[in-house]
Chains A and B, each alone.
Chain A
């Protein structure tokens, strides 16, 4: 009944769920994990403030992925950041332009921005035109984003989500438009471009901490705690695997192949 070769993965998933449930229980009792400062998230408020002072728009995009792909967690993380950005643009009265590349993301992004404006106490300031669906095609979307950056003369460029070959195009366009840039992705092959060009960068799994960091939600902080515990378990397994393999006991390797 269990698919051969995936039993170890199921075991790992069960461990993660148990650890998360335990930390969630602790969080409900007020024992919330502490979280380190993240310059990338902290810089967003400063970046939105800059746009207000300059009277220019804030541009946001949650990347190229939708919800039907293995990269969808990055899109969800991007939308969480969008909610924070929308709250800030509402509060500071800055103009927001958000561009999505997948039609499935559009209604969710619209609701996200609407919710952000509602939470900031300025629901009347929300306009549907803030959200722009450009294209499902990679370079048509990228070209649309670049066009918006140049034509609108953006002051702030925030990009959090999954980005692929267009990452450097977007980051360079933001640089040429003179925007302060906050960029984050979990895509390993693209993160180097963001580190090189953006003013502030969120590297890899940092983007998944968005909800916990920006909203200080105890439930999400518990999730981050579980992430740390799971990482220590993984590090322990790697170290144990190395020792056992050196000693000629491949028990852990065989276990992981189950």
Chain B
């Protein structure tokens, strides 16, 4: 059941029209070499980047509102994290405004806090891969057994011990990667591309409104 008021309907129609107009212009720009069109679309894309930057303000307001609420209610096990987040955000913004993003203090904060934390998160993946593989790669069914056998071959292919165990393992592993794996991947990509194109056509035709909320 579509529940809309008249004003919302009007607003949506305007949004659908603007989406279709911008979408058709960008597609035409991809296929056609028309200087006026190409320049106009380049400008349009720049506007998009600028508007997206403004949305960060909306996001920040929303974030502060939520964390202020958590702090005000002193939500158990959460409020001190919110205090820490708001404090760091204020410090980072203040330092960046004073020194600029390339300034030594803001650069140090970014590299020493964010980059270090990101690298730590990424490295945790190594351990998660082991625990996830342990749960998934068990010979419980025909498919799982096939997965197990292929995984063992590929692991042996990548490890120096593989060729020592049996000299045919590197060639077998390479064949699995190059032939069945590549064939399946290409089928996947073709299906995916067609799905994305159809969704794009539906969006331009105003029939897909997931992006409007």
Contacts A103-B55, A133-B63; is A220 near B202 (CB within 8 Å)?
yes
Q: Which of A197-255 contact B (CB under 8 A)?
A: 197, 204-205, 208-211, 219-220, 223-224, 226-227, 230-231, 234, 238
Residues of A within 8 A of B69 (CB): 129
Question: Given the complex of chains A and B, what is the CA–CA distance between A19 and B78 in angstroms?
Answer: 53
Most buried by A among B56, B188, B196, B207: B196
A139 within 8 A of B: yes
- CB of A169 within 8 A of CB of B211, answer no
Q: Which of A135-173 contact B (CB under 8 A)?
A: 136-140, 142-143, 147, 151, 165-166, 168-169, 171-172
- CB of B118 within 8 A of CB of A6, answer no
- CB of A77 within 8 A of CB of B199, answer yes
A33 within 8 A of B: no
- CB of A108 within 8 A of CB of B62, answer no
Partner of A111, one of B33, B60, B203, B212: B212
- CB of B210 within 8 A of CB of A223, answer no
A41 within 8 A of B: no
Question: Given the complex of chains A and B, what is the CA–CA distance between A223 and B206 in angstroms?
Answer: 12
Which B-chain residue is minimally distant from A107 (CB atoms)?
B58
Select the stretch in B123-131, B155-163, B165-173 that faces chain A: B123-131
B30 within 8 A of A: yes
Question: Given the complex of chains A and B, what is the CA–CA distance between A77 and B209 in angstroms?
Answer: 10
Q: How many A-B residue pairs have CB under 8 A?
A: 189
Residues of B within 8 A of A75 (CB): 211
Question: Given the complex of chains A and B, what is the CA–CA distance between A131 and B1 in angstroms?
Answer: 23
Contacts A6-B30, A165-B125; is A230 near B55 (CB within 8 Å)?
no
Residues of A within 8 A of B112 (CB): none
Partner of B58, one of A106, A139, A204, A238: A106
Question: Given the complex of chains A and B, what is the CA–CA distance between A181 and B57 in angstroms?
Answer: 32
Q: Which of B111-167 contact A (CB under 8 A)?
A: 114, 117-118, 121-122, 124-125, 128-129, 131-133, 135-136
Residues of B within 8 A of A210 (CB): 210
What DSSP secondary structure best describes chain B's contact surface?
Answer: helix
- CB of A133 within 8 A of CB of B59, answer yes
Which B-chain residue is minimally distant from A72 (CB atoms)?
B211
**Cβ proximity bits B179-213 to A, threshold 8 Å, 1 near / 0 not:** 00000010011111011111111110101101111
Contacts A104-B52, A115-B213, A139-B121; is A230 near B194 (CB within 8 Å)?
yes
- CB of A197 within 8 A of CB of B136, answer yes
Select the stretch in A9-17, A44-52, A88-96 that faces chain B: A9-17
Question: Given the complex of chains A and B, what is the CA–CA distance between A24 and B1 in angstroms?
Answer: 20
Question: Given the complex of chains A and B, what is the CA–CA distance between A139 and B122 in angstroms?
Answer: 8
B6 within 8 A of A: no
Which A-chain residue is minimally distant from B119 (CB atoms)?
A139
Contacts A104-B55, A168-B125; is A79 near B30 (CB within 8 Å)?
no
Question: Given the complex of chains A and B, what is the CA–CA distance between A85 and B198 in angstroms?
Answer: 24
- CB of B210 within 8 A of CB of A128, answer no
Closest 5 pairs (CB-CB, A-B) = A111-B213, A103-B59, A205-B195, A139-B118, A133-B59
Binding site for A on B (CB under 8 A): 1-3, 27, 30-34, 48-49, 52, 55-56, 58-60, 62-63, 65-66, 69, 77-78, 81, 114, 117-118, 121-122, 124-125, 128-129, 131-133, 135-136, 185, 188-192, 194-203, 205, 207-208, 210-213
Binding site for B on A (CB under 8 A): 1-3, 6-7, 9-10, 13, 16-17, 20, 24, 66-68, 72-73, 75-77, 79-80, 83, 103-104, 106-112, 114-115, 118-119, 128-129, 131-134, 136-140, 142-143, 147, 151, 165-166, 168-169, 171-172, 186, 188, 193, 195-197, 204-205, 208-211, 219-220, 223-224, 226-227, 230-231, 234, 238
